[in-house]
């Protein structure tokens, strides 16, 4: 809005005004860079430029589409929309014995506490540091206190992924959604918001009356936009509408609503291609970068899974596009060209099945 209010433009305009005034009075002024007139106008222009910068910032902070995080949180809070907090990862721990509840173990710089028994020697452990960091490390656990008979302790699967505090742009999107779709009394938006508030949940789709009146199906991905574990799916089902007492209102949904919770499914896509390399490069050197590029694209697709226009079209799906992957692969250092690219043996884009996300299968060059 104030692009023309730079120091240079302000000084130029002020000098022009001063010269015009002087000519009207019948005399001339020295307005060269080293003149007193220039120095006087330049000092004022610096202050004015800063004032315009601050005014533009104030205008940006007045509107939700340009507000910074702190001001957006205040604006969204007026509608009861608050950032989802970071959540702690729940991991599987495997031991040679049954360890006491509450016992603590460390791996690297993180600590984990035993919270629930699964089977003999297998427990759920919660990371004491919330956020994505709790999903990353696996390996040998070191007990914080002596446990008699303990010989092996290993941290393995991510049962419920931890999530970082909600991103600013995601919060902004939810704020604008709250203006067009008010959550109330078990409508679709109400289901979406209630499910999204649960730890470990990433994307959500809601299908009302999917199996007759009073039935609702919720399909979701975990906070890493991947297929959720059975443990997470069970936890979400219990929080929403416990299986043992469906429709009784013992979860967060209204009495009489029978809710079925499912996780998204993986569609494994095998990829074939023929690459031409720069001198000194070969498949062994670029393979990890190519697979990373593919995973990043599939991950971006999975993150958009719940943004597909499913409210108007229940059959709307993601589409994995060959040209999108090729563009990313061609950006890898050492690759000159790519030909004969295929998804599962076909050179066509793939429209994924409903409520499926893409997962990389085999990647073959040649």
- From first to last of its 366 residues, what are the pLDDT tens digits of the chain? 666 778 788 788 888 888 888 788 888 777 777 788 787 788 788 888 888 888 888 988 999 999 999 999 999 999 989 999 999 999 999 999 999 999 999 999 999 999 999 999 999 999 999 999 999 999 999 999 999 999 999 999 999 999 999 999 999 988 998 888 777 888 988 999 999 999 899 999 999 999 998 999 999 999 999 999 999 999 999 999 999 989 898 999 999 999 999 999 999 999 999 999 999 999 999 999 999 999 999 999 999 998 877 666 666 789 999 999 999 999 999 999 999 999 999 999 999 999 999 999 999 998
Residues 133 and 213 in one domain: no
CA angle 76, 81, 87 (to 5 degrees): 120
Residues 258 and 292 in one domain: no
User: Which ranges in the chain belong to alpha helices (H)?
Assistant: 7-24, 36-60, 69-77, 168-180, 188-196, 230-240, 283-303, 322-330
Q: Pick from 105, 133, 160: which residue ends a domain?
A: 160
Within-domain flag for 238: yes
Residues 236 and 292 in one domain: no
Helix (H, G, I), strand (E, B) or coil at 269: strand
The tens digit of pLDDT for each residue in 38-50 reads: 877 887 888 888 8
Within-domain flag for 52: yes
Residues 251 and 276 in one domain: no
* Strand partners for 218: 206, 261
Residues 359 and 272 in one domain: yes
Residues 244 and 290 in one domain: no
Residues 258 and 270 in one domain: no
Residue 62 has a CB neighbour count (10 Å cut-off) of 11
Residues 355 and 270 in one domain: yes
Residues 128 and 143 in one domain: yes
Within-domain flag for 302: yes
Cβ burial of 102 (10 Å; 0-12, 13-18, 19+) is exposed
Lookup result for tokens 């692009």 = 3
Within-domain flag for 165: no
Within-domain flag for 50: yes
Residues 253 and 277 in one domain: no
Within-domain flag for 196: no
Within-domain flag for 37: yes
Q: Pick from 263, 280, 297: which residue ends a domain?
A: 263
Please give the tally of structural domains in the chain.
4
Residues 95 and 143 in one domain: yes
Within-domain flag for 65: no
**Average pLDDT value for the chain:** 91
Residues 52 and 94 in one domain: no
**Which domain range does residue 246 map to?**
204-263
Q: Pick from 263, 286, 308: which residue ends a domain?
A: 263
* Interatomic CA distance for residues 129 and 19, integer angstroms: 66
């Amino acid at each position: 809005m104030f692009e023309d209010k730079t120091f240079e433009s302000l000084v130029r305009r002020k000098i022009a005004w001063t010269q015009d005034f002087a000519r009207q009075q019948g005399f001339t002024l020295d307005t060269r860079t080293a003149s007193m007139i220039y120095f006087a106008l330049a000092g004022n222009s610096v202050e004015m430029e800063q004032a315009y910068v601050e005014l533009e910032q104030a205008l940006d902070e007045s509107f939700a589409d340009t507000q910074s995080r702190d001001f957006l949180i205040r604006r969204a809070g007026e509608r009861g929309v608050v950032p989802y907090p970071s959540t702690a990862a729940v991991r599987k721990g495997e031991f040679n014995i049954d360890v006491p509840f509450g016992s603590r173990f460390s791996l690297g710089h993180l600590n984990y506490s035993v919270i629930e028994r699964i089977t003999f020697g297998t427990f759920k452990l919660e990371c004491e540091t919330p956020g994505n960091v709790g999903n990353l490390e696996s390996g040998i656990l070191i007990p914080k206190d002596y446990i008699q008979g303990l010989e092996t302790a290993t941290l393995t699967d991510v049962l419920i992924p931890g999530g970082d505090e909600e991103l600013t742009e995601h919060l902004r999107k939810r704020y604008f959604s709250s203006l067009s779709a008010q959550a109330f009394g078990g409508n679709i938006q109400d289901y979406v918001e209630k499910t999204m508030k649960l730890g470990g949940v990433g994307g959500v789709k809601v299908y009302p009356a999917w199996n007759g009146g009073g039935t609702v199906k919720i399909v979701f991905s975990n906070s890493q936009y991947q297929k959720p574990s059975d443990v997470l799916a069970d936890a979400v089902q219990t929080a929403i509408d416990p299986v043992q007492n469906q429709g009784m209102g013992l979860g967060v949904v209204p009495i009489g609503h029978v809710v079925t919770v499912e996780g998204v499914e993986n569609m494994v896509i095998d990829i074939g291609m023929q690459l031409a390399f720069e001198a000194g490069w070969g498949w062994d050197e670029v393979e990890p970068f190519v697979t990373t590029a593919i995973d990043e694209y599939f991950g971006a697709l999975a993150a958009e899974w719940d943004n597909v226009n499913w409210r108007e079209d229940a059959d709307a799906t993601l589409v994995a596009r060959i040209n999108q992957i090729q563009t990313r692969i061609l950006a890898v250092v050492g690759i000159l060209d790519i030909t004969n690219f295929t998804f599962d043996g076909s050179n066509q884009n793939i429209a994924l099945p409903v409520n499926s996300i893409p997962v990389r299968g085999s990647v073959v060059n040649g």
